Structures are given as C-alpha cells and as structure tokens.
Amino acid sequence: MDLVLPDKAHDESRQGEALMLETKADKNGRKLYIESYGCAMNFSDSEIVASILLDNGFETTNDYTIADAIFINTCSIRENAEVRVRNRLKEFKVAKQRNPGMVVGVLGCMAERLKAKFLEEEKLVDLVVGPDAYRDLPNLIEQADGGQRSVNVLLSREETYADINPVRLNTNGINAFVSIMRGCDNMCSFCVVPFTRGRERSRDAISIVKECTDLFNEGYREVTLLGQNVDSYKWTPLPALSEGEGSAEQVSESLPFGEVGGVVNFANLLEMVAQINPDLRVRFSTSHPKDITDEVLYTMKKYDNICKYIHLPVQSGNTRVLDIMNRTYTREWYMNRIDAIRRIMPGCAVSTDVITGFCTETEEEHAETLSMMDYVKYDFAYMFMYSERPGTLAAKRYADDIPEDVKARRLNEVIAKQREHAHLRLLAKIGTVQKVLIEGYSKKSANDYCGRSDENSMVIFPVDERYKPGQYVNVLAERCTTATLMGVIVD
C-alpha cells in the first residue's frame, strides 16, 4: 500500500474535520465529531461515515467536548501513528467521564488490526468498526447506548459505498477526494493494508462520474481519484448495471471506448472524468510501478485538465530489497516507467515514497536508493524509516536487523538529497507561467493567495480582487523557496 502522508501531514491531520451542516434531514439532536489520521483514503472514509450518520439524525461539530459520538479514523502504517491515536483516545476518555452518555469509537485500519483489544484490555472505546462495516454504525451506536460494547471488523469483497453521497468535511469547496476502489491485492511485505482493508474491488464508473459531475456543479474545481493502486482499477459495465442506469447499450454509448460489456480500466475512467468539463481538474493517487501503463500516460497527455503529476512510490532503489519487499518490479523496470513518463509528458512532476533501513538493507543497497533519486530528481517525496508492523509478511519472515541510528542516518541522507532535488525542480520553473487554481489565502498573509500548479507545486502570489478562490489564474513564477513558488498574476 502506497497511499500515505508524511510526518508533518500526520501531525496536521489531527482535527475535528466535521463542520456544522445545514440539512433537511430529521435531526435527533445528537452531535458527531470525527478525527482522521493517515492516508487520504481515511479522510474520504470519514466523509462516508458522516453521510451515513447524517441520514440517521446526527449533526457534525468541530468541538469534541460537546459531541455525543466521537470517532477517530485510524492508520496502522507506522507505529508512531498508533501511539498518537492511543494518546488521543485517553483525552477522549476524560471527556467521556464528564459525559457518560458519550459514545467513543475507533474506525479504520487500526480498528481492523487490533479488533477487540481496545474493548477488552484497554477499555478506551465503546465501538471498534473496520473500513467495510460503516453501514452498521447506526446499529452499533444503538447497542452502545444500551451499554453494550461492540466490534464489527468484517471485511467485504463487494463493499464500495458507491451509493453513499459523502458529506464534505472541513472543505474549502474547491478540492474533493473521490474514492474509486477499496482494498489492495498487492502483498508488499512491509504493509498491513491487505489485512486491514481486504481484497481489491473497484467502484462502478457510472457512480464515480456522477459524483464528480455533482461536485463540479456544486462549485468544486478539482477532484482526486483515490485508491491503494489506481492503475489496477477495473470495472465491467454489463454485470454491474443496476436499476435506473438504463440498458447495457445506453451505458455503453455513454462510455468513450469499447463495446458493450467491455472492461473499464483506469485510463478509460480518467478519460470519462476529464470529459465532464475542461474546468474540472483531475488528480489521482496512488499509482503502482508494476501497473502504470503507457495508455494512462497518453490519456494524461491528451487532456489538459488531467494534472501532469504522478505519485509513483519506489520504496527502494535496489532490486534485491524490492524483491524482499515483494514490490514485484525491479530497479530497471521502475526506471523504464520513469523514462516513459519523461518521454510522453516531459514536464510531468513525479513524487515518491522511500523507506530506509528495511530488513537486511546494506550500505551499497542504500546507495542505490540515493542513485535512483539522482536519476529521477523527484519533485516531492514521503520518506520514512522502516517500522515493523505486526502481522505483515516482513515481520514473519525477516528480522528487523538495521539499528535505529543507521536507519535514521540513511533517512537524513535521503531527506537531504530530496531537498536538493525539490529545490532544483522549483528553480527550473522560475520565469515560467503556471496555471494555478486558487485554493484560498496564504497561511502567512491575508494579502496573498495560495494554490497549486498543474504539477502540484504550491504557489503564493498577491491577492488580486478580480479573482476569487475556485478560479484559475496564470502566475508568473519569479522566485522560490525550497518548497514553494512565488510570483504574480499575469493576464
């Protein structure tokens, strides 16, 4: 599983995401508070949870002290993420002592991995609910109201929540996540996701296009299509038809490819979403090096509104280490995919994930990761020391035998190199005009707007009253820091 956020994003992800919502749904006077940690998929799942409970009378709040139900959507990718969740639950336990009727629950990957341990050993929560059991939340809350602690972590081969209209939490009204698939069939030896999120299954393309269309009509101007491995997206229209979607022929006519009953792959889906409107930007995460195809790259090239940015996790630059990670590609294969990206879309930005100090990694193999970074010159990277996760293949097969100080030193070398490359990539943009979607005001000054370029660079520029958040502007890049472009709007 490659869909991750860096340390800083983990720290910033602790938040009561939910906003007070105006709705015509019947309310029961109860308030819901949700915090999300970890990957973008968890944030997307929290919006599904909010929608399910909104339909059952809950309003959302950003103050957990007044909530009737508190849920923390968790991540099990790294140990320190779990430590932060446990500490947060202790804070919620204090709030529950002041309000005994409060229901506290753990959702997501950590819930699936630890199951009843939260209830029986630590007694920190009332509910433990896995990623495929969110529809059961109203029933589980009712049981908790009656004093019964409950667990539902059953995994599903079918659940995609395709019929749920997510409640957009903590939104700027401009960018939105759209889940296109769930689970993961890759068995990377360091990763818990196949065990916590289950087998891979793709959501039907018609519902994805409808959700993206609705978002555009509501004023959103950028969608990010989410999946643990978006390149393996696959949906067959004919068997998936449901009542109200029309005949197979009608559905086929709405697709930009193929014959009736043909398979919709990720390149097809990208094209379908891009065709909604040229003013709707399309991003996606995460790609897998073994699956990303030239067809996807040519589709990206064809449509100006598909952002020229690919997150392509490498994890290691050494073939032997990749093999024991069970990444199913070699150093040479990864370089071939980078070459294809540079050939088809010369200006495309590429980011990655890197793990240092994986089991048995030698200094020479670490040096190959550094040389891979020199070869690609990533625009951005999420960089971690290896953290053994219980239940993974690596924990069962290999000793975590690299000393922590060696892991840390290697990580610092990776970070230093990435800073150098990121700065070089930004310096190359100085003097160019970047198309930027205004997302809001800069965190540092209300006199400046901020937004992202097509290649996902953060751009800061003075406010121009002619333009508002949600609009596109052309910005001449005049200077940069190590992480940000700065410039002025040009006509």
**117-137, pLDDT tens digit by residue?**
766 655 788 999 989 999 999
Average pLDDT over residues 130-158: 90
pLDDT tens per residue, range 375-390: 999 999 999 999 998 8
Identify which of 272, 221, 286 has the alpha carbon closest to the alpha carbon of residue 40: 286
Whole-number pLDDT of residue 121: 58
pLDDT (mean) for 320-334: 98
Segment 234-238 shows an average pLDDT of: 83
Region 397-406 average pLDDT: 97
Residue boundaries of the structural domains of the chain? 7-152, 175-425, 433-490
The pLDDT value recorded for residue 3 is 40
pLDDT at 11 over 70: no
Contacts of 154 (CB under 8 A, 6+ apart): 130, 132, 133
CA distance 309 to 345: 10
The mean-pLDDT minimum among 106-120, 148-162, 215-229, 303-317 falls in 106-120
Rounded CA-CA distance 150/99 in Å is 19
pLDDT of residue 76: 67
Q: What is the mean pLDDT of residues 389-415?
A: 96
pLDDT band at 253 (very low <50, low <70, confident <90, very high): low
The pLDDT assigned to 258 comes to 45
pLDDT band at 254 (very low <50, low <70, confident <90, very high): low
Hey, what CATH topology would domain 175-425 get? pyruvate-formate lyase- activating enzyme (3.80.30)
pLDDT tier at 77 (50, 70, 90 boundaries)?
Answer: low
Q: At 43, is the pLDDT very low, low, confident or very high (cuts 50, 70, 90)?
A: confident
Per-residue pLDDT band for 255 (boundaries 50, 70, 90) equals low
Estimate to the nearest angstrom the gap between the alpha carbon of 345 and the chain centroid: 24
Residue written as tokens 């495929």?
A: 132
* pLDDT over 90, % of the chain: 67
Min mean pLDDT across 155-159, 184-188, 225-229, 478-482 is at 155-159
- Determine the Cα–Cα distance for residues 15 and 421; give it in Å rounded to an integer: 32
CATH number belonging to the domain at 433-490, selected among 3.40.50.300, 1.20.1730.10, 2.40.50.140, 3.40.50.1820? 2.40.50.140
Q: Which CATH number fits domain 7-152: 3.40.50.12160, 1.10.3710.10, 3.30.950.10, 3.30.1360.200?
A: 3.40.50.12160
pLDDT tens across 190-204, in order?
998 888 888 899 999
How do residues 200-234 score in pLDDT, each as one tens digit?
999 999 999 999 999 999 999 999 999 999 999 99
> Which whole number is the average pLDDT over 332-355?
98
